[in-house]
Chain A
Amino acid sequence: MGAMSCLLDQARRGEAAALSALYRRFLPGIFGYIATRVPDRATAEDLTSEVFLKMVEGISQLRASDEAGFAGWLLQIARLTVAAYYRKREHLPALVSLDPGDQEEAASGNSEALVRVYLGMDPAEIVEAQDEWHTVVTAINALTEEQRQVLVGRFILGYDVATVARMIGKKANAVKALQFRALHSLHRLLGKRGSSEQASFSPTRQRGGKP
């Protein structure tokens, strides 16, 4: 029995240490997946919390016994959580406050979360980087769900093709094709921003630092 199967068994039995270990292992992947789906960091953090709370509530009924199966289950929860967020937002009327004080408050709440990311950049660069990130989110949302899951599995969770194939229930060749199509579509949608030296959607590069 592998280490991950052991960990999953312990988590199913309700051991807090196993839950913590699973959380730490999968937080980057789930946060990364959600952060590429929603426009602001605060929402990404809220939805990530929701996903992990659902994980804690539902793990006793989980049938997956390996890492790929568990990652697939968790990403499925994340996908449904993001979908519910957009569904809820669709039904809410867009409220624009006429009070300038409210607008400032909203802006400061948003920038507080971004301060951590854009520390040391000037305001113009922050706005530019923020706009670029919105473009990335729009581009990622234009991909298919399978393409998004392949990107998360390969580049955030760091899995090989075989593991990603088990995670999404496809063959290795199909994963390679999905990976190619996902990156190709992103490249097209981002207008070759990612590959050109002078402009990149990575704010760290704009500052001249290494990513």
Chain B
Amino acid sequence: MKPLAERLNDRLEQERRRSWNGGEPSGLSASRTHTPASDPEVEELVALAKCWQANPHLQADPDFALQLERHLLVHHATLRRKYSQGRWFFPRLWHAHPALGLALGFCLLLLLLGTGMLVAAAKVSNPDHPLYAVKRWEQGVQVSLARSPESRGSAEHAGESCRSGTR
């Protein structure tokens, strides 16, 4: 013979299938007519489960359900608005136009790498270092960009002193 927990589950499944088929009314008397009298303990527990299940205290009031649904949707809309306002430009752009966001991200990455390389090159004083050429180029650009003769002179002087320091 099956254990009690197993027998109870079989009976509950039987009741569940019956209620799904929608054939017979659920209730204590109904359950008793369909079951063998040899398992009274199981039947009592099935009846208890049915009473508990059908208790009106467990059913939510339809007005309350409707009001709460409306409240939830309003809360959800408020949250979304707050979230989209609070989000930075880049995540919003990424969400709306992923290709444009990707291109912008790539440009930002290039800019970051370029700046980092220039900063690193500025510290180099060894002419054999691969970044030394970058430093020379940077100084050339500084000289060509200098407008007044004083600033051009000072840029050239800085370049000369740097070169003489390395010799």
> How many of chain B's residues have a CB under 8 angstroms from any CB in A?
42
Residues of A close to B37: CB separation below 8 A: none
Contact A57 B79 (CB under 8 A): yes
Give chain B residues whose Cβ lies under 8 Å from the Cβ of A70.
none
Nearest CB of B to A35, in Å:
5
Residues of chain A with a CB closer than 8 A to B80's CB: 14
Q: A-side binding surface: helix, strand, loop or mixed?
A: helix
A29 to chain B, nearest CB (A): 10
Interfacial residues of chain A within 76-118, with CB under 8 A of chain B in the complex:
113, 116-117
Taking chain B's interface residues, is the majority helix, strand, or loop, or is none over half, making it mixed?
Answer: helix
- Write the nearest CB–CB distance from A55 to chain B, whole angstroms: 8
| Given A151-B52, A156-B53, A195:B28 Cβ within 8 A | yes
Q: A180-B45, A200-B51 are in contact. Are A53 and B72 (CB under 8 A)?
A: yes
Residues in chain B within 8 A of chain A (CB atoms): 4-6, 8-9, 12-13, 16, 25-28, 43-45, 47-61, 64-65, 68-69, 71-73, 75-77, 79-80
* Pick from A16, A49, A156, A181: contact of B77, CB under 8 Å: A16
Contacts A20-B69, A53-B72, A53-B75; is A180 near B8 (CB within 8 Å)? yes
For A133, give the chain B residue with the smallest CB separation: B57
Complex Cα gap A14–B44 (Å): 46
Would you call B76 and A16 a contact (CB within 8 A)?
yes
Given A31-B58, A194-B52, A187 and B44 contact (CB-CB distance below 8 Å): yes
- A41-B57, A177-B5 known; A56-B79 Cβ under 8 A: yes
